Amino acid sequence: MDLEAGDEALDVIPGSEIDEFADDPTRERRRLLEFARDAEKLAGKKDLKLQKAAELVKSLIRDDFKPIIFCRFINTAEYVASQLKDLLPNKVEVACVTGHLPPTEREERVKLLAESDPRVLVCTDCLSEGINLQDWFDAVLHYDLSWNPMRHEQRSGRVDRFGQRSETVNVVTYYGADNVIDVKVLEVLLRKHRTIRSTLGISVPVPARTNEIIEALVESLLSSQGDGDQMVIGGFEEYMARAGNELFQDWEEASEREKRSRTIFAQETIKPEIVDTQLRKVRASLGSQEDTKQFFVEAIQSLDGRLTGDDPCTVRLEESPRALRDNLGCPESFRATFEFPPKDGVDYLSRTHPYVENLASFVLDSALDPTPETRARRCGAIRTRGVSTRTTLLLLRFRYHLRQDDVRGSRTFLAEDSQLMAFEGEPSNPQWLSQEDAEKLIHLKPDDNTPPDQARHFVQLVLDQFKILNTSIEARARKRAEKLLEAHREVRSAARMQNVQYEVEPKLPADLIGVYVYLPVGGSS
């Protein structure tokens, strides 16, 4: 989430010699320099904040985290980085990235650090947006509290985002309990920001620029009392608190407006149970991660590939057909896992991973257009103890036209659906099985040899009498069309999408992709 243009991550420390003020020999400047010299005397062992931060970083590293330390100013980041190099074990690589570096060099330095393990990155808010860090880091330590809570969210968002392979992202908000400014920032801004986010489910930015936030916080701080001592002259409390009160009131009003506006959006009215039902159906049709693993392992092994070791395993394709390696676009040997998140250097093979998709395309293409390397077949017959009578499994592809009529006119979409249908007995008098029983057939293994001539005979019987079977197949297609229409109407109705009409028309005949005959062991049919 971006901040306003006037709220860029300026990481120059206040009082630094910059621009036209560099040669201004004023009294104020001399006082700031004196403060800076006093602060330098606290560097190292006397810096209790640094020492405690080093302990926190050591703890994160012991727990196998790779932390990023965010500082507010360049000088602070460079100081923390140089000190940590001495305070942390020698094996820990520490790097610093600030606004002193141009954007391209910032990314290069981060990538160079990513080659080391363990590692610690110290940076300013110049890295809180515009670069993804989730591939190399999984913990964030806020060394300085930002006076704009959105900045904290941006910092964490560089690490806690899609693609993060660690199950846990550790975020440490570091502050001094005896530091009244830190406490005020934490209590007034950060906790209020989190309360609003937990209530609405989204972040509501502070309705002010950073300078206005600072002004409101300072005045709120000065108008408060600490340890019973009044911090401002009596009678001025109301005047000093005004800016703070106005800011927090504006923030509350912005949150209420956002809460009211969200009630008009369709997604806020959808019933979760309806979406969950349809989501489960979609996931069932796509298959589970266990199905993906079974397909990949069996396909690779059938194509002379080898998988060694547990998960993660090593996939070796040196003896596989050259066409397979070319289609997969992968090296001859690589490490893979079917469990998320993967470790460094290991490919997570999900259903949509290029290796899995390319393998599926290779198997399907070789079955449709047989080549010497093919292992898949569109038809076949086996003898198995899993059936007591001849059983036939059909792999079908149904296609539908989904027409949607609304204020924008009429539009037609194409939907495809792969289905299994199975029957027992002769094709001329099929006894159709349930969907559940049909799916069980794909897991059966051959228990006896089947002569090629016998296999061709039983498959040909199915093909010759397919017209009889087609009556039931088309009935299944129409029923699936009704289910598809019902699902569309249910979800659209839950989302309050009105004045929309749907029609689903099956495009017949269905495509016959495969015929597989299962024969009982010891019988002739």
Domain boundaries, the chain: 1-174, 176-264, 275-368, 379-520
Quote the pLDDT of residue 66: 92
The tens digit of pLDDT for each residue in 346-365 reads 889 998 899 999 999 888 88
Q: Which of the two residues, 209 and 158, has the higher pLDDT score?
A: 158
Q: How far from each other are the two terminal CA atoms of the chain, in whole angstroms?
A: 67
Quote the pLDDT of residue 164: 82
Quote the pLDDT of residue 189: 57
Q: How confident is the model at residue 178 (pLDDT cuts 50, 70, 90)?
A: low
Mean pLDDT of the 282-299 span = 84
Secondary structure element (H or E) that encloses residue 471, with its range: helix 466-494
Mean pLDDT of the 96-117 span = 88
The tens digit of pLDDT for each residue in 135-146 reads 889 999 988 877
- Three-class SS of 180-229: HHHHHHHHHHHHHHHHHHHHHCCCCCCCCCHHHHHHHHHHHHHCCEECCE
CA dist., res. 358 & res. 92, Å (int): 40
Mean pLDDT of the 270-287 span = 71
Q: How confident is the model at residue 235 (pLDDT cuts 50, 70, 90)?
A: very low
CA distances to 178, 308, 483, 500, 503 from 410, rounded to whole Å, are: 67, 54, 21, 10, 11
Q: Is the pLDDT of residue 458 over 90?
A: yes
Q: Is the pLDDT of residue 222 over 90?
A: no
Quote the pLDDT of residue 252: 61
Q: Is the pLDDT of residue 56 over 90?
A: yes
**Helices marked H in 341-420:** 354-368
Q: Is the pLDDT of residue 229 over 50?
A: no
Q: Which of the two residues, 302 and 404, has the higher pLDDT score?
A: 302
- pTM of this prediction exceeds 0.85: no
CA dist., res. 109 & res. 115, Å (int): 10
CA dist., res. 90 & res. 499, Å (int): 68
Quote the pLDDT of residue 368: 80
Quote the pLDDT of residue 68: 93
Tabulate helix, strand, coil % of the chain (nearest 5).
45, 20, 35
Mean pLDDT of the 227-244 span = 44
Q: Which of the two residues, 9 and 488, has the higher pLDDT score?
A: 488
> What is the DSSP secondary structure assignment for residue 343, as one 8-state letter?
P
Q: Is the pLDDT of residue 467 over 60?
A: yes
Quote the pLDDT of residue 216: 54
Backbone angles phi, psi at 423, to 5 degrees: -145, 155
Quote the pLDDT of residue 6: 46
CA dist., res. 84 & res. 89, Å (int): 9
Q: Is the pLDDT of residue 419 over 70?
A: yes
Backbone angles phi, psi at 172, to 5 degrees: -110, 120
Quote the pLDDT of residue 314: 93
Q: How confident is the model at residue 249 (pLDDT cuts 50, 70, 90)?
A: low
Q: How confident is the model at residue 43 (pLDDT cuts 50, 70, 90)?
A: confident
Quote the pLDDT of residue 516: 95
- Nearest partner of 54 among 82, 96, 12, judged by Cα: 82
Mean pLDDT of the 484-508 span = 76
CATH number of the domain located at residue range(s) 1-174 in this protein: 3.40.50.300
Quote the pLDDT of residue 36: 78
- Kindly give, in sequence order, each residue whose CB lies less than 8 Å from that of residue 191, ignoring residues fewer than 6 positions away: none
Q: Is the pLDDT of residue 457 over 90?
A: yes
Quote the pLDDT of residue 239: 42
Quote the pLDDT of residue 208: 44
Quote the pLDDT of residue 232: 41
Mean pLDDT of the 122-126 span = 88
**Mean pLDDT over each residue of the chain, to the nearest integer:** 78
Q: How confident is the model at residue 396 (pLDDT cuts 50, 70, 90)?
A: very high
| Range with lowest mean pLDDT among 195-209, 349-363, 453-467 | 195-209
Q: Is the pLDDT of residue 268 over 60?
A: no
- Kindly give, in sequence order, each residue whose CB lies less than 8 Å from that of residue 497, ignoring residues fewer than 6 positions away: 266
Q: Is the pLDDT of residue 431 over 50?
A: yes
What would the two tokens of residue 454 be?
Answer: 């016998």
Quote the pLDDT of residue 244: 52
Q: Is the pLDDT of residue 405 over 70?
A: yes
To the question of domain 275-368 being in CATH 3.30.360, the answer is yes
In angstroms, how far is CA 283 from the centroid of its own chain?
17
Mean pLDDT of the 291-305 span = 90
Range among 28-32, 271-275, 281-285, 337-341 with highest mean pLDDT value? 337-341
Q: Is the pLDDT of residue 26 over 80?
A: no
Mean pLDDT of the 46-59 span = 89
Quote the pLDDT of residue 49: 87
Quote the pLDDT of residue 264: 46
| Range with lowest mean pLDDT among 147-151, 162-166, 315-319 | 147-151
The 10 Å Cβ neighbour count of residue 123 is 29
The tens digit of pLDDT for each residue in 321-344 reads 888 888 888 888 999 999 887 877
The 10 Å Cβ neighbour count of residue 261 is 10
